[in-house]
A and B are shown apart, each in its own frame.
Chain A
Amino acid sequence: MRYAVRAGDRELTIETTPEGRFLVGDRVVAADLAEAVPGRVWSVVVDGEAHEVAFLGDDRVWVDGDEVRIDIADERTVAAGRAGGRAASARQELRAPMPGLLKRVHVAEGSAVHEGDALVTLEAMKMENELRAAHAGTVARIAVAEGTTVEGGALLIVIRSE
């Protein structure tokens, strides 16, 4: 299977062989991989070069002291993403990054917003956090009313870009 991997700002194409080798570009890499903490931390030794990799959650990875993003896609996913990735970008969903109290909604359905405009105020950890629009667009839907306690990940607002 061939994979397209993005680690931090570097991209690699890696092919796994049935013998357990890795083909990185056109280079065969013999890597000594050891799972140090089950599901979490890996020790990786490549030609004597030792690295430590910890998976922090979602797509966040710690490697040798740095925190970066990782994205792994196999060939089929990459191909599918090229065909269907376009339409979704017109719709922007604002979700609650954490549980909290939706203290205020600063916009109304149908109102135009600019990038960086405050959409809602979410109170959590004794702090009022203003959540802002990532892109300009029109508020298509307000999913939650003011004064509601929301779970992390709850859909708050949908914005449609022109």
Chain B
Amino acid sequence: MRFRKVLVANRGEIALRVIRTCRELGIATATVYSDIDRLSPHVRAADEAYPIGGAAPRDSYLHIERIIAVAKRAGCDAIHPGYGFLSENADFADAVAAAGIAFVGPPGTVQRALGEKTSARRLAAAAGVPVAEGTMEPLRDEADARTVLERVGYPVLLKPAGGGGGKGMRIVRSAAELPAAWRAATGEATTAFGAPALLMERLIEHARHVEVQLLADAHGTVVWLGERDCSIQRRHQKLIEETPGPSVDDALRATLGAAAVTVASAAGYVNAGTVEFLVAPDGAFVFLEMNTRLQVEHPVTELVTGLDLVALQLRVAAGEPLPFGQPEVRRSGAAIELRITAEDPFAGFLPQAGRVDFVRDPSGPGIRLDSGLAVPLTIPTEYDPLLAKLIAWGPDRPAAIARARRAAREMIVAGLPTSLPFHSFVLAEPDFVAGRYDTDYVARHWDHPRTPEITEGAALATALAGLARLRAGPRPFVGDTTPWSRSAREDMLR
């Protein structure tokens, strides 16, 4: 069996990513867009595009009935959910299947078992994979949390039981911190996952976040494709991912791979998935969660394995067996991904909204850019701040880092602050370059962000260009209300 038309039920760079593979495979694509996404690149890239409602996710990209109605109307035989939105929503997977459409991801039953995080912890523990000390059922209330705290001890991590991705997680280091952490985590869990349930687990200090990419078909074959170190995070959300993990030796890699396959097999997993682990400085590891979808950082694995994970996802969803087994998986070189986000790294990575009015994409040897940017493009507050992913491959880690840094410094995004200055800093920072980092890296190295020192020549050029721009007067770049034209006018009034 082979799909004729796939509905890409997402937006941004991941929608483009899926559309590209479909096009290579000769599969037609349809997509959906909210009211404020009419000019988003995915609408132009797809063969067909259908409006599905308002800007708020619940009115559009999270609206199960409307998305399925579009799939039926467009005659799609499969739906690819991308990541985020409905990608890990078991009810959606069930509804898609009930409509006679193939869901590109694991079935609802599997998503339910792994999506609720305490259920996933029970599953992993029962399969003999170590889990962090903590609750094996969702916490009832704050008083329940206090009781567990007394048993487990500080510090602990309070996190939503309803979903992953780092949203709503709070560290609690003392009894005094619990009420505020409980309030914030409950609020964010409700906003992000529609469920306030929380769980608690012992925080492993100085841990690395290492995850294993898997592929499983409906015929019982499960292969692991290697690990990714995703320890460079802010607010428990990833900013840089790389493979191989600089702290992972062959023995640990094999152990983690086997543990990941154990979890997937125990869950009856089908399609692409990722098992996340925390690895302590001494190499001891615990199961964190399993992400039942394609991940943001999947391209680093693609670059070292030469595989197209979306193509393989489609193949598995069509009921075909994986075309290779574990012995055929080969990894070559190193790859690193930078998540270019609409966040101000000089203001605590506060998300930014605004209008992008100039972009220069990096290019050249070993560079892949998965970008959702276009010019002009208004970046809304309603969705994830991820703008683009810059992925670099090199024959070894130093070469991949050199390429990533070179490309990050080539890239220009004008109109709103982005994470790029942070990435340029990290890629030249000695601890990162030496592979010495853990999940505390951002707090340790970027607590007081430093602006780069520039040469005298660069300062002079900047000053002269600034004066020339002042003299040239205000000139709207695109439209007439860009921040640029505003600031230019203000300059002229000084």
Contacts and interface: CB of A to CB of B under 8 A. Distances in A.
A and B found bound together? yes
A54 B358 contact: yes
B188 interface: yes
Main secondary structure of the interface of A (DSSP, over half): strand
B484 interface: yes
Nearest to A27: B460
Contacts of B354: 57
A63 B454 contact: yes
A128 interface: yes
A7 B467 CA distance: 12
Interface residues of A, number: 61
Interface string B161-197: 0000001000000000000000010011001100000
A125 B383 contact: yes
B352 to A, nearest CB: 6
> Among A39, A58, A59, which residue has the most Cβ atoms of chain B within 10 A?
A39
Nearest to B237: A127
A60 B417 CA distance: 8
Contact of A66 (B424, B470, B488): B424
Nearest to A127: B351
A37 B358 CA distance: 9
B353 A5 contact: no
Contact of B187 (A49, A63, A103): A103
B374 interface: no
A60 B235 CA distance: 25
Contact of B460 (A9, A12, A129): A12
A53 B465 contact: yes
Contacts of A57: 354, 414-416, 483-484, 487
Interface stretch (B140-148, B266-274, B405-413): B405-413
B385 interface: yes
A99 B378 CA distance: 13
Contacts of B353: 98-99, 124-125, 152
A77 B485 CA distance: 21
B250 interface: no
Contacts of B466: 5, 7, 53, 55, 61, 70, 72
A7 B352 contact: no
Given A5-B467, A12-B463, A56 B414 contact: yes
Interface in A92-128: 97-100, 103, 121, 123-128
A-B pairs, 8 with minimum CB distance: A65-B409, A51-B461, A53-B465, A42-B465, A44-B461, A10-B459, A5-B463, A7-B462
11 contacts: A7-B462, A29-B460, A29-B464, A41-B358, A46-B457, A64-B461, A72-B470, A98-B350, A123-B191, A125-B351, A125-B381
Given A46-B460, A55-B465, A152-B353, 16 more contacts: A8-B453, A12-B460, A29-B460, A51-B457, A53-B465, A54-B414, A61-B465, A66-B409, A66-B452, A97-B350, A103-B187, A125-B382, A125-B383, A126-B384, A127-B188, A129-B351
